[in-house]
Structure 1
């Protein structure tokens, strides 16, 4: 499956690097990789939080088909990218074609502003729960949860919870045992929910 992770200026590093690690090392019984993981951004290079410079695999124009679309958060998500009309158009098109769209932290604001969370339950970073609730009353915002599964859209709370949600998605798609093996390889202690 093609898994594309959106990058932008001021993206939170662990928001994208955590899921990147989970899905990149996830492998099946014969050690074949289960996901083709790549990054996508509007510009070829971005400056993430705290000055980390990252060169993307693809731009919005050159990215191949995406089965799982990952939308991380960070200051750039909640102040600039949620209002970016070009990104919104791209997101709506890619979401329609994808099997799953997955946001981490304030990436939920990008989905919310595009109308993709209307009528759904969702979550975000604990510091932004009140804002998401106030600005988007059509969303049932949940607090004190690591992630919320609404079928085609999964939202995760802040930063490291993106790893929990990524492992949950692995379990949902490929079974709990593969998710546990992935977590063990990462030396990550995760509380799994059986994906049935």
Structure 2
């Protein structure tokens, strides 16, 4: 009788353990799927990106950086590094210089003292092929009321091949009326302010940068590197962009970047919200 009871108890224990083992196996399988997946949950891996065809530079491109008191270091130095280093990876490359309201030294938000190369109110400027507008401390208020600044941006826009902004530099472009017919972005924390001040704009969020026509606007901060590298690859090709990136120890692959390419506001390549991790 005791042996019979022992057999019954053992059988009951085995049956009771089976669902738990199955549940654990299921959980382990789900965990494995989550850790080996190379795309975010719910995201579909997109086709490899083919960048728009543009005319390749035949001459050195002059790249002007618009600076002022309160300019943020990263949005200034990141694209300067990318563009200046093109001379080692493409012929011809880019020539960079700074432009300010006067030739008096400016002090960045982080305290760096910079002597501008040119003054847009006093100097005869070189031809500007690319204008870069880094973010500055007062791009949401007093800088937008500076008529000389805004008029300079409007003037450059008439002949420049590309106009780019980083972080809140987009506010300056918008104030100048340059973004009214294109898709654009700005610093993620200021998207709502951007939309409120410029309700006519087609604002894209959850991206590192947006390219529409001659305008490239980026989220700024460390993402300024990728936005600048994108323009390098667009103009000089992947080999040059990879060379610039490797020289600065940056893992660059356009397929892994969340961005939007548009044409007159209509999205052509849409990577909004996507962030892929290379195996």
Give the TM-score category using the shorter length. over 0.9
Helix, strand or coil for the counterpart of 2:221?
coil
Equivalent residue, structure 2, for 1:79:
141
Residue 191 of structure 2 corresponds to residue 132 of structure 1: no
TM normalised by structure 1 equals: 0.93
Q: How does 1:29-48 map to 2 (within 5 A)?
A: 32=91, 34-44=93-103, 45-48=105-108
Equivalent residue, structure 2, for 1:166:
228
Shift, 1:158, TM fit: 2.2
Shift, 1:21, TM fit: 0.6
Shift, 1:41, TM fit: 0.5
Equivalent residue, structure 2, for 1:14:
74
Larger Rg: 2
Equivalent residue, structure 2, for 1:100:
162
Shift, 1:47, TM fit: 0.9
8 Å Cα contact 1:11-1:77 kept in structure 2: no
CA distance in 2, matches of 1:39, 1:126: 26
CA distance in 2, matches of 1:18, 1:28: 17
Residue 65 of structure 2 corresponds to residue 5 of structure 1: yes
Equivalent residue, structure 1, for 2:240:
178
TM normalised by structure 2 equals: 0.66
Q: CA RMSD in A?
A: 1.7
8 Å Cα contact 1:8-1:76 kept in structure 2: no
Equivalent residue, structure 1, for 2:118:
58
Equivalent residue, structure 1, for 2:208:
146
Shift, 1:134, TM fit: 1.3
Task: Summarize deviations over 1:113-138 as a string: whole Å, max 9, x none.
Answer: 11111122111111101100111111
8 Å Cα contact 2:86-2:94 kept in structure 1: yes
Structure 1's unaligned 5+ residue stretches are none
Which of 250, 253, 257 is residue 188 of structure 1 equivalent to?
Answer: 250
Deviates more, 1:72-81 or 1:127-136: 72-81
For this pair of structures, how many residues does the alignment match? 194
Structure 2's unaligned 5+ residue stretches are 1-60, 262-279
Distance 1:163 1:100, change over 3 A: same
* Runs of 4+ with >4 A deviation: none
Which of 109, 113, 132 is residue 49 of structure 1 equivalent to?
Answer: 109
Shift, 1:17, TM fit: 0.7
Q: Which has the higher contact order (CA 8 A, sep 6+)?
A: 1
Which of 162, 167, 172 is residue 110 of structure 1 equivalent to?
Answer: 172
